[in-house]
Chains A and B, each alone.
Chain A
Amino acid sequence: MKWLAVAAREIAGLFVEDVGFTLGILAWVALAALVLRELPVGEPWRAAIFLAGCLALLVENVVRAARKRAG
């Protein structure tokens, strides 16, 4: 059974490195599905807002990681 745990850890490792970052992405996707879809904004603004959120998450996390390593 040990190899199953190792395989599961390896597969999870494909998607998760920084838990906060992964949870942030999942939360943003959930917000897009539950809230952004219902907002009274025209197309293609929903897609643009969703993409902007993904880019902001990436930049914020990278800068925070660099600051943490430096300090």
Chain B
Amino acid sequence: MLSFAHAGTAIASAFIASLVEAVEALTIVLAVGTVRGWRPALAGTAAGLAFLALLVLAFGPLLARMPIRYLQLAVGVLLLLFGMRWLRKAILRAAGVIALHDEAAAFADQSAALRAAHPRRGWDAIAVITAFKAVVLEGLEVVFIVLAVGAAGGLLLPASLGALAACALVAIVGCAVHRPLARIPENTLKFAVGVLLSAFGAFWIGEGLGFRWPGEDLAILGIAALFLAAASAAALLARRESAG
């Protein structure tokens, strides 16, 4: 039976992670559309989405065939590596050790690079490929999160719905405002996703190794709370260290 703790955290992880990645992809697609035209930007985006859908259709059923213990362990290790990498970076950004990601600056850089590229002649391959690459590279992270968060617990559908809702939301807002979504608190979202994915990763590794978590499925909320507390403490310590 699906527990609320599991389904809720799977949906929240997929939604927030997809929101962050979709905002980054939108920035590049907007730059392509503004500088080189909307037709190649949309063609590259559509091709990228089709490629990602093929990946999900190819790898989703393969994962379902793996023995559950191995699947939990493999997915857990990948989630822990992925989640702790995000969390580490978000902590260092929150502590002011490394600079925050700036969507407006990314948009300006991408626009300048596209203006400097070869002038378009007929089919604008540069524009199509730039949009395609942006959607595929950012989308790969979304696909990984959806498969990883959903596959081990039989939650592919809720995780996919969370991701789709985030992508639709970003697309609608992006179409409405026609500029990069620079006001999204990206680092706060990355911090939250890092906490959730790390918690999922640790939980699945424990399950895969046969460790018993207190509270069973509900333990995931406690693990997330402990990751949040440790990450907050690490941010404070890092701020102190970097201040000298």
Contacts and interface: CB of A to CB of B under 8 A. Distances in A.
A66 B241 contact: yes
Contact of A32 (B205, B212, B242, B244): B205
B213 interface: yes
Given A16-B85, A46-B211, A65-B238, A58 B205 contact: no
Contacts of A21: 84-85, 88
Contacts of A54: 80, 84, 198, 202
A47 B209 CA distance: 9
A62 B140 contact: no
Interface string B203-244: 001100111111000010001001100110111011101111
A37 B210 contact: yes
Interface of A is mostly: helix
Contacts of A61: 88
Interface stretch (B8-16, B91-99, B118-126, B157-165): B91-99
A10 B233 contact: no
Which of B198, B223, B242, B243 counts the most chain A CB atoms within 10 A? Answer: B242
Given A15-B85, A21-B84, A62 B92 contact: yes
Given A32-B205, A62-B88, A15 B78 contact: yes
Contact of A29 (B205, B231, B233, B237): B205
B68 interface: no
A17 B89 contact: yes
Interface residues of B, number: 45
Contact of A44 (B82, B85, B141, B211): B211
Contacts of B108: none
A2 interface: no
Interface in A1-53: 10-11, 14-18, 21-22, 25-26, 29, 32-33, 36-37, 43-44, 46-47, 50-51
Contact of A18 (B80, B88, B140): B88
B244 A10 contact: no
